[in-house]
Structure 1
Amino acid sequence: MSKESSHTALLWIVATGFFMQALDTTIVNTALPSIAHSLGVRPLAMQWAIVAYTLTMATITPASGWLADRFGTRRVYFCAILIFVLGSLCCASAHTLAQLVIARVLQGVGGSMLLPIGRLAVLRAVSSEQYVSALALISIAGQVGPIVGPTLGGWFVEAASWHWIFLINVPIGAVGLIAVYRYLPSANGSSAPRFDLAGCALLSLCMIAFSLAVDAPTQSHRAAWSLALFMLGLIAALAYVPYARRRRNPLFKLSLFREPNFSVGLTGNLVCRIGTSAVPFLVPLLLQLQLGYTPLHSGLMMLPAALSGAVAKRWIAPLIRRYGYGTFLLVNTVIVGASIVAFALISQATPTIVAIVVLAIFGAANSMQFAAMNSVTLKGLSHEDAGGGNSLFSMVQMLAMGLGVSIGGTLVKLFADQSGSASFGFRMSFVCVGVITLIAALIFRRIEETPTAASAGQPAAAAIPLDATSGGGR
């Protein structure tokens, strides 16, 4: 096989893995009520099937690069696809919510390594001049996943059963395994530096504790449990600071936060994504449980958001060049937050076209929001800090996704229980997560305008990051 053909095969392999991971983050949402009915639980209890997946990805992602260095990119990428497929089979075989959550953890282990290791394989195989174009090609697969995911999930539920939203990964993964074995260059592992297991454990404990604190998995003394878990997460986060100062090669260097836009961007990302990540979870539930939509109909209703997001990507660069990151993110965050609040106004009396317009506005603004947040957070990092900053950024992205789902679901239950109306619970939940998103606008006001990464000589990987959590748009 020629070198050019080998590179093409590599890009398709990585794109397949990215598509599989991106598809899985969206295809589940429209099927949640059907899965809940099959497993005999309340639909809102299904949030743990999503949170378990995102938290697992957040905890494993930092180790992906070290695993590739230690055991070889080809071997680890093959194992990642295999674990993801096995996890998908276990999800389809689950008979209880606990079994599904455990299976989603297994699926998350594989999914956490698909994009980071695939991106690393591309970085090592192609020249720096081809890297940006290669990432652009791979991102197309990530954009297709969220577009077809909700509709495909709804169609599977109605045409067959919810089990097929997981079984679809088996043939895709099988093709990926064959392609990896045949086309991915074989490379032995090297003597990689020692992995910071203690640092990773501290940060993982922090993320898990914060996520559990939002919705403590116990009915007795819930407030006490939530407070204790929150304090545990805070102690773990604070303990990492002196630990990282003493260690020569910590998991994440504290010097990352000397870059002002990284600190502002990371904080703004966390707050903004908590609000926006609740929407893909709550909207399908609202449409099916409150408005009486079928799974397929609710999946089709999510299509305008995905399509408008894909179209809006071309507007990002000219808008940022004209207004700068600070102004753009300030205004766009307000639009995103306001569109989330507008979901609270959707009811059975709302014309379908109005709901479609709101979803399209949210999708377009959200797509631009994530791309701009990704870029402004990472573009100022040096070449030395780009890898660590990107890994920490990915962890925060996935933590925010889990927190968004947990907070959104908890708010619906809280308001519904207090008012006796599930409809009121959904409306107030959208208002609250919309306000959380609007708070991010105040954070983005602190962004310092700097030259773009390309003009400043920053690495392409930092200038045009790929989002591992939701496929290109996020």
Structure 2
Amino acid sequence: MPPLDVIAPPDQPDVQTLPTDRPALAPAEPSSRARYRGLIWLVSAAFFMQALDSTIVNTAVPAISGALAVTPLDMRTALTSYVLTLAIFIPMSPWLCDRFGTRRVFGGAILVFALGSLLCGVAQSLPQLVASRIVQGLGGAALMPVGRYVLVRSIDRREFVSSMTTVATFGLLGSVAGPLIGGALVEFTSWRLIFLINVPVGIVGLLLNRREMPDYRLDRAHRFDTSGFLLFAGASALCLMAAESLGGSSRGFVIAAYALGAVALGTLYVRHSHRTDHPVSDLSLLKVRSVWVSLAGNLFTRLGVSGMYLLLVLFLQIGCGWSPLTAGLMMVPQAVGSIAVKPFIDRLLTHFGYRRLLLGNTIAVAAVLCSFALLSPQTPPWVIAVFVFVYGSVMSVQYTSMNTLAYVDLDVKYASMASSMASTAQYLSMSFGIALASLLMAGFLGAHSADGYVWAFRWSVIVLGMITLAASWIFGRLRDPRAVPATGAP
């Protein structure tokens, strides 16, 4: 049978056409972003669901603690267990993708996450809630790294930043909507709905996964690095426990034991990773300049900014006497600023390159953090809203640039590992940042009354701004990735 494009239309005689020198115009090839639009929406929905769940619980802590007959301080375990599970199990995602394929792993992650949400919604005690949050973390640990990895494999590099911008915007919306939705659900319905709303979203995600998710895998996956995983998981867990303990009432020797244990296990893992062919976290990728700059810059940036929302809420509620709902609404200008600048980030990177943009924007982030020290209880709300809007704008540029930098010089076969390492570093540094902000606030507050929160807030944001400024030196170590072809990792 001849190809379809040369078959004459039915009920018409064959037509002899005259030769022409003009070549036939081939149909335009759709861009990778257009071809994978459904995939981008699927990954965006998963990021939204995870970001929503990471923030929605905070505003419900008093209601949940009352329902479960525990103190709000006891709820700390339910909050940290989720992040701890994410940090520990994210490094498994590259091997899972190679062994079972991205479609199965991503679908399984959605299913486990939805199941964990259901269990959280019906929990009757704090231990049950903590166990259910761990189940949620097991599913959430694969959502971000697998989603990023599939986008790296599927989307053309010229369109990757714009695609990740779309995904990051939905993640941002989830983070902003979390406190507002959580407060509304707790006030007008039940705290259990903050978990149960993930169940229908998960069902839709499973349907989309079957249709839109590519299935990338290796024909023969290597053996899983169980020893390396246990060492890496132990070091990560002890790091987080040390960071969380700093913000609590643990004794000094307990914190020191956690820290020394983390250092010991981390050192053993470094030695182990050099002796195995397929380590759970491939430290050889750090030989690529853009990778180690991305991870180190992420660490110092998030040390400075991760606790900012906590400090701002304390300042507004206790220092300024705002209601919790009014203080939560102050996240809206941050979201507006972040979303407003998103469409321009791709062009900014094209014009300035990663080095100049990250160097200048990190200095801007540090300056904005320090400028929050100018606020007082007498500052009009619209002025505070302007500060928060500007902060959201510069952080939008910072997050998108940092999160895409790790991939610009890597061959696509290293994308899964790079995504895993970036996500793990992100959650670890977020925990450290929140603990550091809490320590600074407590240290500057001392024995002061509620009026001291304003003074403590001012000095805390100045210190955090200086820490963030250190990241600009790290980003200054970059060569401009636009001028360097992607040569792959060692």
TM-score clears 0.5:
yes
Q: Is the 8 A contact 1:157 1:295 kept in 2?
A: no
Q: Following TM superposition, by how much is the alpha carbon of 1:96 offset from its aligned partner in structure 2, in angstroms?
A: 5.6
Aligned to 1:439: 470
Match of 1:199 among 228, 231, 237: 228
Q: Following TM superposition, by how much is the alpha carbon of 1:273 offset from its aligned partner in structure 2, in angstroms?
A: 0.8
Q: Following TM superposition, by how much is the alpha carbon of 1:244 offset from its aligned partner in structure 2, in angstroms?
A: 1.4
Structure 2 unmatched ranges of 5 or more: 1-31
Aligned to 1:56: 85
| Residues 73-132 of structure 1: CA deviation (Å, up to 9, x unaligned) | 4443333222212222333345665554433222111111123334555667x5758974
Aligned to 2:187: 158
Q: Is the 8 A contact 1:30 1:285 kept in 2?
A: no
Match of 2:367 among 315, 331, 338: 338
Match of 2:407 among 378, 382, 392: 378
Aligned to 1:363: 392
Letter in 1 for 2:187: E
Aligned to 2:245: 216
Q: Following TM superposition, by how much is the alpha carbon of 1:12 offset from its aligned partner in structure 2, in angstroms?
A: 4.1
Letter in 1 for 2:469: L
Match of 1:248 among 277, 298, 315: 277
Q: Is the 8 A contact 2:333 2:388 kept in 1?
A: yes
Q: Following TM superposition, by how much is the alpha carbon of 1:185 offset from its aligned partner in structure 2, in angstroms?
A: 7.5
Asked if 1:396 is matched to 2:447, the reply is no
1:106-145 paired onto structure 2 within 5 Å: 106-120=135-149, 132=160, 138-145=167-174
Q: Following TM superposition, by how much is the alpha carbon of 1:425 offset from its aligned partner in structure 2, in angstroms?
A: 4.7
Secondary structure of the residue that 1:378 maps to in structure 2?
Answer: coil
Q: Following TM superposition, by how much is the alpha carbon of 1:203 offset from its aligned partner in structure 2, in angstroms?
A: 1.9
Tell me the distance in 1 between the aligned counterparts of 2:53 and 2:171: 11
1:275-290 paired onto structure 2 within 5 Å: 275-290=304-319
Secondary structure of the residue that 1:248 maps to in structure 2?
Answer: coil
Letter in 2 for 1:197: T
Q: Following TM superposition, by how much is the alpha carbon of 1:264 offset from its aligned partner in structure 2, in angstroms?
A: 2.5
Tell me the distance in 2 between the aligned counterparts of 1:217 and 1:140: 32
Secondary structure of the residue that 2:280 maps to in structure 1?
Answer: coil
Tell me: CA distance 1:425–1:123, structure 2 relative to 1, closer, same or farther (3 Å). Answer: closer
Letter in 2 for 1:238: T
Tell me the distance in 2 between the aligned counterparts of 1:147 and 1:351: 22
Asked if 1:297 is matched to 2:348, the reply is no
Tell me: CA distance 1:340–1:17, structure 2 relative to 1, closer, same or farther (3 Å). Answer: same
Q: Is the 8 A contact 2:152 2:412 kept in 1?
A: no
Secondary structure of the residue that 2:222 maps to in structure 1?
Answer: coil
Q: Following TM superposition, by how much is the alpha carbon of 1:397 offset from its aligned partner in structure 2, in angstroms?
A: 0.9
Tell me the distance in 2 between the aligned counterparts of 1:206 and 1:334: 32
Q: Say which is worse superposed, 292-301 or 43-52, in terms of deviation.
A: 43-52
Q: Following TM superposition, by how much is the alpha carbon of 1:272 offset from its aligned partner in structure 2, in angstroms?
A: 0.8
Aligned to 1:85: 114
| Residues 262-307 of structure 1: CA deviation (Å, up to 9, x unaligned) | 2233212111112211123333344344444344323321011111
Tell me: CA distance 1:46–1:432, structure 2 relative to 1, closer, same or farther (3 Å). Answer: farther
Q: Is the 8 A contact 1:53 1:104 kept in 2?
A: yes
Q: Say which is worse superposed, 417-426 or 152-161, in terms of deviation.
A: 417-426
Secondary structure of the residue that 2:245 maps to in structure 1?
Answer: coil
For normalisation by structure 1, the TM-score amounts to: 0.82
Match of 1:146 among 175, 194, 219: 175
Tell me the distance in 2 between the aligned counterparts of 1:129 and 1:219: 44
Q: Is the 8 A contact 1:46 1:97 kept in 2?
A: yes
Tell me: CA distance 1:178–1:237, structure 2 relative to 1, closer, same or farther (3 Å). Answer: same
Tell me: CA distance 1:438–1:294, structure 2 relative to 1, closer, same or farther (3 Å). Answer: same
1:408-427 paired onto structure 2 within 5 Å: 408-419=437-448, 421=450, 423=453, 424-427=455-458
Q: Following TM superposition, by how much is the alpha carbon of 1:68 offset from its aligned partner in structure 2, in angstroms?
A: 3.2
Tell me the distance in 1 between the aligned counterparts of 2:341 and 2:309: 18
Tell me the distance in 2 between the aligned counterparts of 1:100 and 1:390: 29
Structure 1 unmatched ranges of 5 or more: 463-474
Letter in 2 for 1:234: V
Q: Following TM superposition, by how much is the alpha carbon of 1:53 offset from its aligned partner in structure 2, in angstroms?
A: 2.0
For normalisation by structure 2, the TM-score amounts to: 0.80
Tell me: CA distance 1:32–1:371, structure 2 relative to 1, closer, same or farther (3 Å). Answer: same
Q: Say which is worse superposed, 258-267 or 7-16, in terms of deviation.
A: 7-16
Aligned to 1:235: 264
Tell me the distance in 2 between the aligned counterparts of 1:266 and 1:449: 17
- Identity %, equivalent residues: 38
Secondary structure of the residue that 2:307 maps to in structure 1?
Answer: helix
Q: Say which is worse superposed, 23-32 or 300-309, in terms of deviation.
A: 23-32
RMSD (Å) for aligned C-alpha atoms: 3.6
Tell me the distance in 1 between the aligned counterparts of 2:327 and 2:389: 14
Tell me the distance in 2 between the aligned counterparts of 1:275 and 1:41: 32
Letter in 1 for 2:137: G
Tell me the distance in 2 between the aligned counterparts of 1:329 and 1:192: 37
Tell me: CA distance 1:95–1:332, structure 2 relative to 1, closer, same or farther (3 Å). Answer: farther
Aligned to 2:57: 28
Q: Is the 8 A contact 2:303 2:433 kept in 1?
A: yes
Letter in 2 for 1:227: A
Aligned to 1:267: 296
Asked if 1:176 is matched to 2:205, the reply is yes
Q: Is the 8 A contact 1:78 1:180 kept in 2?
A: yes
Tell me the distance in 2 between the aligned counterparts of 1:187 and 1:327: 35
Tell me the distance in 1 between the aligned counterparts of 2:456 and 2:237: 26
Aligned residues: 455
Match of 1:310 among 325, 339, 342: 339
Letter in 1 for 2:477: R
> Larger radius of gyration, structure 1 or 2?
2
Tell me the distance in 1 between the aligned counterparts of 2:393 and 2:421: 26
| Residues 308-351 of structure 1: CA deviation (Å, up to 9, x unaligned) | 01111233344444444334323322222233334445443221
Aligned to 1:105: 134
Q: Is the 8 A contact 1:312 1:367 kept in 2?
A: yes
Tell me: CA distance 1:441–1:69, structure 2 relative to 1, closer, same or farther (3 Å). Answer: closer
Q: Following TM superposition, by how much is the alpha carbon of 1:247 offset from its aligned partner in structure 2, in angstroms?
A: 1.0
Tell me: CA distance 1:285–1:39, structure 2 relative to 1, closer, same or farther (3 Å). Answer: farther
Q: Is the 8 A contact 1:83 1:109 kept in 2?
A: yes
Tell me the distance in 1 between the aligned counterparts of 2:207 and 2:290: 42
Q: Is the 8 A contact 2:349 2:357 kept in 1?
A: yes
Tell me: CA distance 1:182–1:27, structure 2 relative to 1, closer, same or farther (3 Å). Answer: same
Tell me: CA distance 1:29–1:363, structure 2 relative to 1, closer, same or farther (3 Å). Answer: farther
Q: Is the 8 A contact 2:92 2:280 kept in 1?
A: no
Tell me: CA distance 1:57–1:329, structure 2 relative to 1, closer, same or farther (3 Å). Answer: same
Tell me: CA distance 1:90–1:437, structure 2 relative to 1, closer, same or farther (3 Å). Answer: farther
Tell me the distance in 1 between the aligned counterparts of 2:354 and 2:328: 33
Tell me the distance in 2 between the aligned counterparts of 1:297 and 1:56: 32
Aligned to 1:469: none
